[in-house]
A and B are shown apart, each in its own frame.
Chain A
Amino acid sequence: MGDHIAKGQELAKRAENKLHACCPLFGSNLEDAAELFHKSATSFKLAKSWDKAASLFVKSAKCHLKLDSKYDAANAYVDAAHCYKKTSTSGAISCLNKAVTIFTEIGRHIMAAKYSKEIGELYELDQDIEHARSYYERAAELFEIGDAATSVIQCKVKVAQFCAQLQQYQKAIKIYEDIARQSLDSNLLKYGVRGHLLNSGLCQLVQGDFVAITNSLERYQDLDLTFSRTREYKFLADLSASIDEGDVEKFTRVVKEFNSITPLESWKSTLLLRVKDAMKVKEMEDDDLT
């Protein structure tokens, strides 16, 4: 490990010398400097000196930018971000942002989308749902430009989930329904439709408008003719009925029965807890009135 650091330091020194001895007429020294910075960063990476490696990758990226070699610069920023990931999330996000900007400029939309999604994942790990949502949204747009339908759907599903967590239910419902409609056109994606409609239905339930829930269930049946035969449909219909009756026990029983076969993800549990709490409050209000 020590020899990696020594080698890295020596390469970094040579790179700095190349930079300072740069002749204004020729870019060859800049090219050499960029390459040496890259090699130096790789040595520090092998020594697990992540911050140092990342800063050298950034220097390499700056050299590439001066040479107007944008693709190489973007890749160097990505390498820097992957080193920063080990120590500083904010550093990683900053570098990935620069990479996304460059990839977008040079028309590499799928690469830009991929790294935009990666930024979203980092924010998600940091529990920053608002930022995560905006980056997933950006990734979806870029994937759409790059004509990668599956990736668009995957990103939109995450956006809808974050919208639901941020209590922007109407937006989440719209996204889920659009995805379901889109998926029905494909023999491979149509099997995921019931899941999207379930998520949309759960968002409808949280809003607590019984008429809207009933209308939605009818609309979902028209959208996907097989939906009325699924466990998801039965689950939504039973939940809807228990909300209409104000029966908290029935609501709990229905959820537990469904959960015993298909375990619910934590964000769905949170939504259902919100519904249950609202039902409890309503029940208490009714008791107070009587």
Chain B
Amino acid sequence: MFGSKKTPLRDAKPSSVGHAHNPFDSDEETNDKKYNSSKKTLTNTNPFDDEVDVDATGHSSSSSYGLSSSHRNRYKSDFRDSGGLESQSVQELENYAVYKAEETTNSVNSCLKIAEEMREDATKTLVMLHHQGEQITRSHHVAADIDHDLSRGEKLLGSLGGMFSKTWKPKKTGTITGPVVFGDDPVRRKGNHLEQREKLGLTSAPKGQSKSRPTLSEPSNALEKVEVEKGKQDDALSDLSDLLGELKGMAIDMGSEIGRQNQALDGFDNDMEKLTVRVNGANQRSHRLLGK
């Protein structure tokens, strides 16, 4: 796993848990009054933001295993400049394995971060879709009210005119259907596939149990360090898997909601066409009456 090629995500900011400078150690609440509504977080005021010093090679200097930049350069080039993998000592190769494992962990964490951002955006999109659906329904209700008022108006216009003039009758258009209220998709109602699996007890993490493995004591040799990194990668990949599953569910829900809204808009459009014809007819009648 850690022998994989470098991904473009490699240089993304890693979590600097063991970093010497802890920005969370500030004793004053600097951002108590500095809340700004227009941004999600204030610039440079989040005391939890990692401030990782990045060295010339693009790696954080807060690496837990204290590899020098010269070592890093050699690892980056996969020992091409120093005789290839075969001519390296066991110690060098062990350190190289640790370096690669760390790099992979950072890449996986970057993927997880991107997936989380996608999830957040998708959540906002779903809220907007819900809002849009409500607006369509409300607009359709207003169209139904207009229809009701127009019927009364047409009656009044029909009764107006000269004593011997023929009673005016509005053009016949089909009746307005009004808004169709869609319930949630019955198959997916009140709980998705995950929840159903949870109820059946098929999920990997039982209720109340956190997925992460217990923290081991500080690793002493390279193999242990690699194992620790692999553990971190497994946790991150497990989270990523869950996130991608959720994103799939979100995409399905978005699709079905957009389909539903398209249907609602078709109905709304038909009703508005009928209303337009009737309003035009009523206007013509009014002009004729005023012209007499």
A-side residues, CB < 8 A to B, are: 110, 121, 124-125, 127, 129, 147-151, 153-154, 165, 184-192, 195, 217-218, 221, 225-226, 228-231, 233-234, 237-238, 252-253, 255-257, 259-267, 269-270, 272-274, 276-277, 280
Q: Does residue B24 face the partner (Cβ distance < 8 Å to A)?
A: yes
B210 touches A233 (CB 8 A): yes
Which 9 pairs show the lowest CB-CB distances between chains A and B? A260-B15, A259-B48, A150-B131, A188-B130, A225-B198, A188-B126, A124-B37, A234-B210, A252-B24
Chain B 201-220 against A: per-residue CB contact (8 Å), 1 yes, 0 no? Answer: 00101111111100000000
Q: B24, B188, B199: which contacts A187 (Cβ < 8 A)? A: B188
- When chains A and B are docked, how far (Å) is the Cα of A31 from the Cα of B27? 63
B184 touches A266 (CB 8 A): no
- When chains A and B are docked, how far (Å) is the Cα of A261 from the Cα of B48? 11
B188 touches A273 (CB 8 A): no
B-side residues, CB < 8 A to A, are: 13-17, 22, 24-27, 29, 31-38, 40-42, 45-50, 109, 112-113, 116, 119-120, 122-123, 126-127, 129-131, 133-134, 138, 184-185, 188-192, 194-195, 198-199, 203, 205-212, 239, 242, 246, 250, 253, 256-257
Q: A221-B208, A252-B25 are in contact. List 10 more A-B contacts (CB 8 A).
A: A150-B131, A187-B257, A188-B130, A188-B133, A191-B250, A256-B16, A261-B15, A269-B31, A270-B29, A272-B48
Closest to A120 in B: B37
Q: Which of B45, B112, B131 has the most CB of A within 10 A?
A: B131
Which residues from chain A contact B210 at a C-beta distance below 8 Å? 233-234, 237-238
Which residues from chain B contact A234 at a C-beta distance below 8 Å? 210-212
Q: A149-B134, A192-B123 are in contact. Are A265 and B41 (CB under 8 A)?
A: yes
A189 touches B130 (CB 8 A): yes
A256 touches B15 (CB 8 A): yes
Which residues from chain B contact A272 at a C-beta distance below 8 Å? 48
B41 touches A228 (CB 8 A): no
Which residues from chain B contact A127 at a C-beta distance below 8 Å? 33, 35
Closest to B212 in A: A234
- When chains A and B are docked, how far (Å) is the Cα of A186 from the Cα of B109? 31
Which residues from chain A contact B138 at a C-beta distance below 8 Å? 110, 147-148
A125 touches B37 (CB 8 A): yes
Closest to B207 in A: A228
CB distance from A162 to the nearest CB of B (A): 10
Which residues from chain A contact B131 at a C-beta distance below 8 Å? 148, 150-151
A263 touches B41 (CB 8 A): yes
B46 touches A263 (CB 8 A): yes
A229 touches B46 (CB 8 A): no
- When chains A and B are docked, how far (Å) is the Cα of A267 from the Cα of B31? 8
Closest to A161 in B: B35
- When chains A and B are docked, how far (Å) is the Cα of A189 from the Cα of B49? 29
Closest to A184 in B: B190
Closest to A129 in B: B35
A260 touches B242 (CB 8 A): no
Which residues from chain B contact A262 at a C-beta distance below 8 Å? 113, 116, 120
B126 touches A277 (CB 8 A): no
Closest to A237 in B: B210
A150 touches B130 (CB 8 A): yes
B127 touches A121 (CB 8 A): no
Which residues from chain B contact A225 at a C-beta distance below 8 Å? 191, 194-195, 198-199, 207
Closest to B129 in A: A188
Which residues from chain A contact B123 at a C-beta distance below 8 Å? 191-192, 195
Q: A260-B113, A273-B26 are in contact. Are A229 and B211 (CB under 8 A)?
A: yes
